[in-house]
Amino acid sequence: MTITLDDIEAGLRRVIDPDDEVVVLHSGIWRFGHSVRPLPKDFVDQLLDRILAVVGPDRTLLFPAYNSADFPRTKSFDLVRDEPETGALTVAVLRRRCAERSRQPMNSYLVMGPDSQTYLDSPSTTAWGDDSVMGLLERAGARFVTLGEVWHESCSYYHRSEEICGSPYRYYKRFEGDLLEDGRVIGSCSETFFVKSLNVHCDDFYAGPELLLRERKLTVDAGDPRLILESARVDDIVKVTCEILEEDPYYFVQNREDVEAWVEDGMLEEIAALAPENQYAGNADIIRRKESIQELR
């Protein structure tokens, strides 16, 4: 079963509505690149050209440029040299220098288009909070497009819902370091994540919301079974996921008993053991809620 660049472009035009003003595209070329015929040597660049043609210059386009593994260890983030972990397409955007990169060291985005500065200037008090890029995308009703990636591996906007709903198995942890541009230190940067336990593995599986989104006809597919290509509005994704988590806060957790036991007996101790630079004021509310529950018991 083969596909062409024309097929992909046609699919993109189907899943991106003409009225969409902001598009955020997550991709996994490795899932479908081998099926493209003919496969040009510069396939990734040609694919990027097709995406830019579909979105056009009058809309804002974002690519997730996440790199969560290095910063906690190196305490430095280079806007130019630190390649994203989010696939070859995003790396191509970075290398082409056709977009600017936001300054969140682990959850950065490459942004281009008329409303770029809104996202580049986002305070991002926390990585998935109201003033983060994710929060802004939700408020804008941005179009989330997943190209070559299945939902439970590509849709990081589920985490936005986890923070909104205060998922009981997460707490806040702050990371700080140097901000670099092509090897030159230009300032400092930090990011605060709503993290899971370091001491008890949380076996999570982010399946389910996309099924409800499809059931409610809130997704758009490419109309071509050869393509892994689908879209939905970020605000719909967040709303549906919050509904699920409000009914069952542990919905995504597979090893529920282990995680619930840690929440009960180990969470406060783990928060207390954070180094001073990793502490975040938002944990005070989590501690108060936990202590209140324990007193009631």
pLDDT, position 213: 97
Report in angstroms the alpha-carbon separations of 112 from 8, 56, 59, 101: 21, 10, 8, 9
pLDDT digits (tens, 9 = 90+) for 103-129: 999 999 999 999 999 999 999 999 999
Please list, residue by residue across 5-37, b when 16 or more beta carbons sit within 10 angstroms of its beta carbon and e when fewer do.
bebbbbbbebbbeeebebbbbbbbbeebeeebe
In this predicted structure, what is the pLDDT of residue 30? 77
Q: What is the pLDDT of residue 296?
A: 47
What pLDDT was estimated at residue 292? 67
Residue for token digits 């282990």? 258
Regions in the chain scoring below 70 on pLDDT = 291-297
Max CA distance (Å), the chain: 67
Radius of gyration for the chain, computed over Cα atoms and rounded to the nearest angstrom: 20
Query: In terms of Cα–Cα distance, which of 204, 173, 205, 199 is closest to 267?
Result: 199
What is the reported pLDDT for 248? 97
Q: Output b/e per residue, 146-184; b: 16+ Cβ within 10 A.
A: bbbbebeebbbbbbbbbbbbebbbbbbbbbebbbbeeee
**61-252-130-116 Cα dihedral, nearest 10 degrees:** -10
- pLDDT given for residue 293 in this prediction: 59
Q: CB 119: neighbour CB atoms within 10 A?
A: 24
What does pTM read for this prediction?
A: 0.95
